[in-house]
Structure 1
Amino acid sequence: MSSPSLRLRHSVRAIVLDEDDRVLLCRFAIPEPAGTVVWAAPGGGIEPGESPLAALRRELKEEVGLDLTTDPPHVWHREVVAAGHVAGYDGAVHDYFLVRTAAFTPRGTLSDDQLAAENISGLRWWHPSEIAAYTGTDLFAPRDLATPLRELLTSGVPARPVRLGR
């Protein structure tokens, strides 16, 4: 558990899975260090006065064009305390929700320029085996994404959100 004196940015993310168990990830081109690419679940920060599920609905609509009609289950919780992880904060708290949907071509309401301002440079469906076998220089968030994803697909929704590492 994080220290109450730390300034952590609270965010929500969606593990969007299609009928073939592929997961939709956003390609984040991080400016510092230059050239860093991280594939992460769509989502983002919770605005003041906004509930986590309202933030999730807004972020999914903006980034990938998905309208949530139900309240998805909360499956993972991840805290990252690291200088520089989120500008202006000591780190971030990410809560992940499982969203099952038919495959679709992701295109949110944000323009390409607005996505670029959020460092998003692409969207892609990944099969878990592709993530597990990946040997390139891009990173995944969390770094061991293949492991909790495999567990989620094998065991189903956990009774309580699983705490993930960095």
Structure 2
Amino acid sequence: MSVERRRAVRVLLLDPVGRVLLLHGTDPATPGTDWWITPGGGIEPGESPAEAAGRELAEEIGLAGVEWGPLIAYGTVRFSFRGRDYEQEQLFHLARTTRTEVSLTESGADEHALLLAARWWTMGELRTTGETIYPRQLAALVEQVLTEGPPEPPVRL
């Protein structure tokens, strides 16, 4: 079976009290499997990672006008969705917002995750949850950003 390779951007979106926004997703091909992820998605041809990040926030949660920070992490992830295998190179950008009222917008048919909910998570909740959160190192990354500032250079996840 072939693997589809793609480039994507994820957004580590923080509110004024240090909570991070995560989206609850599922895969219709694997009933009963769900997870929490940062907002984001594929980088389209001719689009910069920053442009893709802004577009994805608008598309997924209807949010614009965030304060953009630096690239803070990167990595490659392999996953299956709707029966297809993907290898995704992803970049994580830091962003901050004072607007905490967000809602899922109508996702396009080509969205990889079927999104169920959006929720702001505290550090304590991230550290102690039994829920599946991707990337698995997210709690450590958020803690580093909140206590030491954005990592320089960006860290590999």
Q: Does structure 2 conserve the Cα–Cα contact (< 8 Å) formed by 1:85 and 1:92?
A: no
Alignment match, 2:133: 140
What value does the CA root-mean-square deviation take over the aligned residues? 2.6
Which residue type is aligned with residue 147 of structure 1? A
Matches within 5 A, 1:124-163: 124-135=119-130, 138-163=131-156
Q: Does structure 1 conserve the Cα–Cα contact (< 8 Å) formed by 2:68 and 2:94?
A: no
1 CA distance for matches of 2:150 and 2:19? 16
Runs of at least 5 residues in structure 2 that lack an aligned partner in the other structure: none
Alignment match, 2:89: 93
Alignment match, 1:80: 77
2 CA distance for matches of 1:11 and 1:154? 27
- In 2 relative to 1, CA 11–26 (structure 1 residues): closer, same or farther, beyond 3 Å? same
Identify the structure with the greater strand proportion: 2
Which of 13, 23, 38 is the equivalent residue of 1:26? 23
Alpha-carbon deviation of 1:9? 1.3
Q: Once the two structures are superposed, what CA deviation does each residue of 1:44-97 show, in whole Å capped at 9, x if it has no partner?
A: 001111111111111001111221465431001021135x26865541111111
Matched, 1:104 2:100: yes
Q: Does structure 1 conserve the Cα–Cα contact (< 8 Å) formed by 2:68 and 2:96?
A: no
2 CA distance for matches of 1:117 and 1:86? 8
1 CA distance for matches of 2:139 and 2:27? 21
Q: Does structure 2 conserve the Cα–Cα contact (< 8 Å) formed by 1:63 and 1:115?
A: no
Alignment match, 1:67: 64
Q: Does structure 2 conserve the Cα–Cα contact (< 8 Å) formed by 1:30 and 1:38?
A: no
Alpha-carbon deviation of 1:32? 3.8
- In 2 relative to 1, CA 111–90 (structure 1 residues): closer, same or farther, beyond 3 Å? closer
The number of residues matched between the two structures is 155
1 CA distance for matches of 2:34 and 2:89? 20
Report sequence identity in percent. 34
Alpha-carbon deviation of 1:123? 0.3
Taking structure 2 as the reference length, the TM-score comes to: 0.85
SS at match of 1:73: strand
